[in-house]
Homo-oligomer: A and B are copies of this chain.
Amino acid sequence: MDERVREHAELLVDWSARIEAGDDVVVSVAEDAHDLGVAVVEALGERGANATTLYGSAEVSRAYLKGAEAGADGDGGDGVPAFDDDPAVERALFEAADAYLRIGGGRNTTATADVSSATRQAYATARRDAREARMDTDWVSTVHPTRSLAQQAGMAYEEYREFVYDAVLRDWEALADEMAAMKDALDAGEEVRIVTERDGAPDTDVSMSIAGRTAVNSAASVAYDSHNLPSGEVFTAPVDTEGEAFFDVPMTIDATRVRDVHLVFEDGEVVDFSAGAGEDALASVLDTDAGARRLGELGIGMNRGIDRFTDSILFDEKMGDTVHLAVGRAYDACLPEGDSGNDSAVHVDMISDVSERSRLEIDGEVVQRNGTFRWEEGFEG
């Protein structure tokens, strides 16, 4: 086994999930993530934790949803299945778990492309409680580098493996120290404004309140309220968004390629939207529920070990010189005690490149201009 697979596994178990003896851990292993799954479960055995391993196959998920569609058709319904909103096994599983380690890495990133949006939405809505139980664990999401992810990134396999390990096998403690300055600025602030100027495309000028919210220094560890490996972003949960935002980094929503998303906010809600490609997929997300039209997250990418977009939100949103906004669910860690925040069955991130002709202001003061933070060399206030 490549020694980097073992290092990745130990980072996930020890740094990210902080697993200790006696912990009950659920591991989900995608089809081609076998090697990392083996290394992770070996580390869990060594730590004295219990491990239950799920098969996180997108083809299995698709089969379930397509089967349910066929069953719903047979019932003379409209083809949208009525899913059980209290699946006993799934709920019991995650309620009993201390930690959930999701290891992505399937064989085909568009494996669920032919499942209808209505079916996806019905499933996501029905499984909300099970998802809540899962997110109440110390969950961490990572990926094993696979050929299909390399293909999605437009890269050779070996090249992609280097990319992944450059992003993952970092000195996370040192990066956490760098990110603390950004968290401090957001925690002290009340309003964030993001402005980007570009030729021949809609500009961004969007403002939002962050008063009373707590930013997360997302250093790839549950000890930092951070649930992705790699990570390297600082994020919070904004409200009362006003203005227009343009997202120039392409993304994939439900196996549909979506480009050049433009959102218009009034009183905190998306009141108008467009996309250069994949507008139906975007519309479907925004129509999921009331919370899907409000922001759940503002994130600032600070991992400069990630040097290119690879059409994977796990990496793209962490890249240095980017900011992202997510419609949908807010993370509890950002919310004041007793505030439930924006609730939704979805959480979809959208990314802007802010390396040029951009600024991010907190309470009217520029904190980042053209990608450079005010505490960095070369910053032009």
Contact = CB atoms under 8 A, between A and B. Distances in A.
Interface of A: 22, 24-26, 29, 31, 34, 37-39, 41-48, 50-57, 59-60, 63-71, 74, 81, 84, 87-93, 95-97
A81 B44 CA distance: 13
The 9 closest A-B pairs by CB, nearest first: A45-B67, A42-B63, A42-B67, A92-B96, A55-B55, A45-B68, A46-B67, A92-B92, A50-B87
A55 B101 CA distance: 14
A37 B60 CA distance: 7
Contacts of A93: 52, 89, 92-93, 96
Copies of this chain present in the complex amount to 2
A196 B246 CA distance: 83
Contact of A52 (B25, B39, B59, B89): B89
Contacts of A48: 68, 71, 81
Contact of A45 (B38, B51, B63, B89): B63
A64 B41 contact: yes
B31 A34 contact: yes
16 contacts: A22-B84, A31-B34, A34-B57, A34-B59, A37-B57, A39-B63, A42-B67, A45-B67, A45-B71, A53-B54, A53-B55, A55-B55, A55-B56, A88-B96, A92-B93, A93-B93
Contacts of A66: 42, 45
Contacts of A53: 54-55, 57, 60
B57 A88 contact: no
B46 A70 contact: yes
Given A38-B63, A67-B46, A89-B26, A54 B57 contact: no
A52 B42 CA distance: 23
A54 B54 CA distance: 4
Contacts of A87: 24, 50, 52
Nearest to A93: B93
Contacts of A37: 55, 57, 60
Contacts of A45: 63-71, 81
Given A52-B54, A89-B26, A47 B63 contact: no
A91 to B, nearest CB: 7
Contact of A60 (B25, B29, B63, B65): B29
A55 B53 CA distance: 6
A59 B39 CA distance: 10
Among A39, A51, A69, the most chain B Cβ lie within 10 Å of the Cβ of: A51
Contacts of A92: 92-93, 95-96
Nearest to A71: B46
A366 to B, nearest CB: 49
A65 B70 CA distance: 41
Contacts of A97: 88-89
Among A22, A46, A96, the most chain B Cβ lie within 10 Å of the Cβ of: A46
A251 to B, nearest CB: 27
A68 B46 contact: yes
A68 B31 CA distance: 25
Contacts of A25: 89
Nearest to A40: B63
B63 A41 contact: yes
